[in-house]
Amino acid sequence: MSFMPPMGPQGPQQPPGSPPPQTVPPRPQTATLAVDPGAIRRCLFRNTYVWMRSGNNFWFYPTFVGRTSVAGFRWTGFSWVYTGLDLRTIESFTCF
């Protein structure tokens, strides 16, 4: 059984058609207690690099922002996989 991403206004949400940039962007110097939904909303449907409090970091393509979470496609190094993130677990991010 395969997982289907949620439906958007124009149908199923789709991952980007190509891989993210190969270079990791500079990390923003500001760390917060929790990411503001309004701040990450400007990254919707854009390549976004995310640094997690756990120490993980990865390319992410957000397609939905809620009050306490963000969902979209995470780059695994080989393909895009649909995932959701709690905004409290994100330390910083930058988008293009």
CATH number at residue 54: 2.30.30
Whether residue 82 is contained in a domain is answered as yes
Q: Indicate the residue type of 74.
A: R
pTM: 0.85
Whether residue 76 is contained in a domain is answered as yes
Check whether 8 has a pLDDT greater than 60. no
Number of domains in the chain: 1
Q: In this structure, are residues 74 and 36 in contact, taking their beta carbons and an 8 Å threshold?
A: no
DSSP 8-state symbol, 87: G
Domain coverage including residue 58: 46-96
pLDDT in tens, 46-94: 999 999 999 999 999 999 999 999 999 999 999 999 999 999 999 999 9
Query: What is the number of H-type helices and E-type strands within the chain?
Result: 1, 7
